[in-house]
Structure 1
Amino acid sequence: MNAVPHLGVLALQGAFREHRQRLEALGVRVTEVRRPADLAGLQGLILPGGESTTIARLMTDFGLWQPVRDFHAAGGALWGTCAGAILLAREVLGGPPQFGGHQASLALMDLSVRRNAFGRQVDSFRVPLAVRGWAAPFPAVFIRAPVIERVGEGVDVLARHQGQIVLARQGRLLASAFHPELTPDPRLHALFLEMSLTVSA
């Protein structure tokens, strides 16, 4: 019998419970990650939506920056949703003014991401999103969403909204500007599960 897939969700702040529920519905064993030791034995890790500056500060407090980088370097898959996509990006634009416009990130994915590009909380919206290779659109929920303004040559653009990149993949890295955990559609979580179980070359 094959072992049950084991994924993690960064559980410092934000919508981590909803991600856990989506993964468990796919038969995945889920660990809520708060400390470096929680990464042991995982095949993939979701960085959820929330407040990117708060999550970044807590990652510093709990000493998670380098362990997450090391986790990816050792073969682990990473998926950043909304704020999590900001944390994955090599360049963050529009950082918080109280920090001089600087936003800490893992700098793993060759993206430039602009914070809150789709507006404030009151500007949240849901849209049927055409994802490349999928027959039916995905019901994407945008809440204070960032936008991917630039991608490197190794990044595969999977979806756009109003011409703006909102879903992209680079090897074992996945970034979505929206909140797939807030819909019942399991396809993106299933895609990340597949990515996590694929042995890197």
Structure 2
Amino acid sequence: MIKIGVLALQGAVREHMQSLEACGVEAIAIKHKEELQEVDGLILPGGESTTMRRLIDKYDFMDALKGLAAEGKPMFGTCAGLILLAKHLIGYNEPHIGVMDVTVERNSFGRQVDSFEADLAITGVADDFPAVFIRAPHIVDAGENVEVLCKHNGRIVAARDGQFLGCSFHPELTDDHRITAYFVEMVKEAKQKQLV
């Protein structure tokens, strides 16, 4: 049985867990770094990236998160989670976890009042995914090995870099579980490789 964790420090944790369960896998709310040992993959949910970073530091999660990435375990960052995964952040000298070869700009679609929904064509996922954007970041630049999965109005809003998946929007705030299912397949593939 595949087990996927959701970093449960802040953000839309319950919604991600419901989406994982709808995809037929066990979801674990990760509140202590030791619990990362139990999972085959991890979702970093949307929320507020600055607050999340403070909590990651407060509860001493950073080395464990980097360790999970180094073990080859897939990680999926949505909205604030994408910011945490990015190697480069516009306006910041240091990344957070810094494992996904992308440059990200925060709040690039405006403030809370500028939130919107759009149907997106996401490579390998769906032609009509209902994406919810709330104070969303976007990927300004993607490294040469990064697969751009989706653009909205010319801006990259979903990408995959090997075991890392990131998107600007909140897939968990819809009843459409296709992008979660895509991540579940990434986790299954990674687990198969580790068993070989």
TM-score normalised per structure 1:
0.91
Report if the CA contact (8 A) 1:56-1:104 is conserved.
no
**Percent of pairs with identical residues:** 49
Matched, 1:116 2:113: no
Match of residue 32 from structure 2: 35
Deviations 1:60-116 (A, max 9, x none): 01111110111121121100000000000001114xxxxxx5565111000000000
Q: What is the CA distance between 1:132 and its match in structure 2?
A: 2.0
Match of residue 21 from structure 1: 18
Amino acid at match of 2:123: R
Which residue of the other structure, out of 59, 72, 90, is the alignment partner of 2:87? 90
Q: What is the CA distance between 1:34 and its match in structure 2?
A: 1.7
Report if the CA contact (8 A) 2:10-2:47 is conserved.
yes
Q: What is the CA distance between 1:41 and its match in structure 2?
A: 2.1
* Gap runs ≥5 in structure 1: 95-100
Equivalent residues, number:
192
> CA separation of 1:195/1:105 partners in 2, compared to 1, >3 Å: closer, same or farther?
same
Amino acid at match of 1:172: Q
Report if the CA contact (8 A) 1:53-1:103 is conserved.
no
Q: CA RMSD in A?
A: 1.4
Report if the CA contact (8 A) 1:168-1:174 is conserved.
yes
Matched, 1:188 2:185: no
Structure 1 stretch displaced more, 131-140 or 75-84:
131-140
> CA separation of 1:132/1:24 partners in 2, compared to 1, >3 Å: closer, same or farther?
same
Q: Distance in 2 between matches of 1:145 and 1:80?
A: 12
Amino acid at match of 1:16: V
The alignment partner of 2:175 has SS state of: coil
Match of residue 67 from structure 2: 70
Match of residue 53 from structure 1: 50
Amino acid at match of 2:134: I
Which residue of the other structure, out of 151, 161, 164, is the alignment partner of 1:160? 151
Match of residue 150 from structure 1: 141
Amino acid at match of 2:120: L
Structure 1 stretch displaced more, 25-34 or 158-167:
25-34
Amino acid at match of 2:19: R
Amino acid at match of 1:49: G
Match of residue 97 from structure 1: none
Q: What is the CA distance between 1:33 and its match in structure 2?
A: 0.9
Deviations 1:120-160 (A, max 9, x none): 00000000001124553100000000010000011000000
* Gap runs ≥5 in structure 2: none
> CA separation of 1:141/1:103 partners in 2, compared to 1, >3 Å: closer, same or farther?
farther
TM-score normalised per structure 2:
0.94
Q: Distance in 2 between matches of 1:158 and 1:44?
A: 20
Amino acid at match of 1:171: G
Q: Distance in 1 between matches of 2:113 and 2:164?
A: 30
Q: Could you list the runs of 4 or more consecutive aligned residues of structure 1 that deviate by over 4 angstroms after TM superposition? A: 101-104
Q: What is the CA distance between 1:40 and its match in structure 2?
A: 1.4
